[in-house]
Amino acid sequence: MAESLTPYDTGAVAEPKLWQRSRAEALQVMRHGEAEDIGNVDFDDDEGATVATIRVTRDEHGVHTVHIESHRDDLRVIRTPNDIDEVLSQITRERRRTP
């Protein structure tokens, strides 16, 4: 019987790879003063090349920020439809105000 390929195998979906796979690994990185590396996740293509690195942080006000580091020239970022609707509404309002 033929082996089924996953979306990771075919390249349809990039495979997530944690930089630290355990709490112990994360603590070791922190001890070496590289805390900015904690929580990073690489997304690799079907050839094992990293497409993007993503990290989510929270500031002192509780606001979360998604950081996306592209490793390719052809990376497209699509936000949720609600965000797109909000941006389009804002553009429409600004166009109406412009003489």
- Alpha-helical regions (H) of 1-99: 7-10, 23-31, 81-97
User: What pLDDT digit, counting tens, does each position of 17-51 carry?
Assistant: 888 878 888 888 888 877 777 788 999 999 999 99
Domain membership of residue 2 (yes or no) is no
Quick check: pTM over 0.85?
A: no
Judge whether 19 and 28 are in contact, CB under 8 Å. Answer: no
Q: In this structure, is residue 1 part of a structural domain?
A: no
Q: Is residue 42 part of a domain?
A: yes
Q: What is the pLDDT of residue 61?
A: 85
Structural domains in the chain (count):
1
**Beta bridge pairs of residue 52:** 43, 70
Asked, for residue 34, whether it belongs to a domain, the answer is yes
Query: Is residue 63 pLDDT above 70, yes or no?
Result: yes
Q: Is residue 85 part of a domain?
A: yes
- Res. 94: pLDDT tops 90: no
- pLDDT at site 41: 92
**Residue 75 belongs to what domain range?**
7-97
